[in-house]
Amino acid sequence: MAVDDLAWADVTPRGGRDSLGEIYCLTFIRDVDAAEALRRMGGLPGTFATRTWSDVGDLDNFDDGYPEMAMALPLGGWTVVFEPDGFNGISLTSALSHGTEALSVLRHDYASPAFAYAVDGVLITGFDPTCPYPHLRYGADPDRLLSHMLEVGFAMGDNEDDEDGDFDEDDDFDNNHDRPHGRCLRLIEQFTGRLPTFEALTGPLMSAQIEPWFAEAHKDPAVRRGYDGPVDAVTEVRRLTSLHGLTDTPGLADALAAAERGEPVSIAPDSSLGEHVRSWLTEHRRAGRASNGGEGRWRMTEIERDRAFDLGLLARALGAAIQPGPTAAG
């Protein structure tokens, strides 16, 4: 499949042309089925169903809580997870690769596009597909994919003139902005041997609401610092639950006590505490979309939005508190 056959990966969604849009993520995981791929991404029990791309789009509203959705397509020994308007796969690639390997490509026209390749929990190579400079690749082995990248047409200049004096920074920049996501998919094809079609990705597929908080990945720390440095995550959980009358949340005291003892803590999404975490994250999403001019902009008061943002911080602090290692938040 030539890059030209993958125009839908890069084309601007105008004029009725096939396009996945200006923000999407495609994540390929080897030797897992569709249901397992979604579970690895934090697929929530009770949300698994066959849906089309249009069905998923219909859920993007205030009443449904602006859920983060993913669709999974089996692909001959691999499963590709499609996130319309989503980007979780690129940050979860390492976690998704435990016991196998995973590749992910993110198109995000308003932020940072990215590609990632990971094996058994380790990020091997990551890069911005629009950037021509090899020294900006990262991971345990940044050069692992270099020959493959050249083969699919990525330009690999550097910051200084090459020996022939013909390096042109502008030419390399322009080249890598020409169908970069299609090139990433051609790169992925060298691992999978196959690629999805636009029609397959947008047709009826197994799908689920995903909540990366429940994925087996490092949780983001709560972002608050005290006068003396980062705030302990358990302390931050207790502060926020006290502030919002949530100290009696079922299962919370036991989880914090176990975390303080250094014991492993797992919170299932369908447990009582997990259900509360899900509600906190949903309110946080509603507040974020409302603040950014979403259709629910006038359905939350300022007080409700402030509380919802605190609930998002509470979920992050709890995630930091229960993972192994230091519990400093910040």
- Is pLDDT at 116 greater than 90 in this prediction? yes
In angstroms, what CA-CA distances link 142 with 19, 119, 149, 150, 232?
A: 30, 13, 12, 14, 34
Any idea which residue has 């790169």 for tokens?
Answer: 187
Give the span between the Cα atoms of 147 and 118, in whole angstroms.
17
> Average pLDDT, whole number, for the chain?
88
Radius of gyration of the chain (CA): 21
Can you give the pLDDT at residue 4?
Answer: 59
Task: Compute the average pLDDT of residues 284-289.
Answer: 94
**The pairing of beta strand 49-51 with beta strand 205-209:** antiparallel
Can you give the pLDDT at residue 165?
Answer: 41
Give the span between the Cα atoms of 226 and 328, in whole angstroms.
11
Q: Which range among 191-195, 206-210, 212-216, 217-221 shows the weakest confidence by mean pLDDT?
A: 217-221
Q: Check residues 11 and 226 and name the one with the higher pLDDT.
A: 11
What is the percentage of the chain residues whose pLDDT exceeds 90? Answer: 74
Any idea which residue has 């047409």 for tokens?
Answer: 153
Helices 252-260/302-322 angle, 10° precision? 40
- Is pLDDT at 126 greater than 70 in this prediction? yes
Extents of the domains making up the chain? 3-214, 225-329
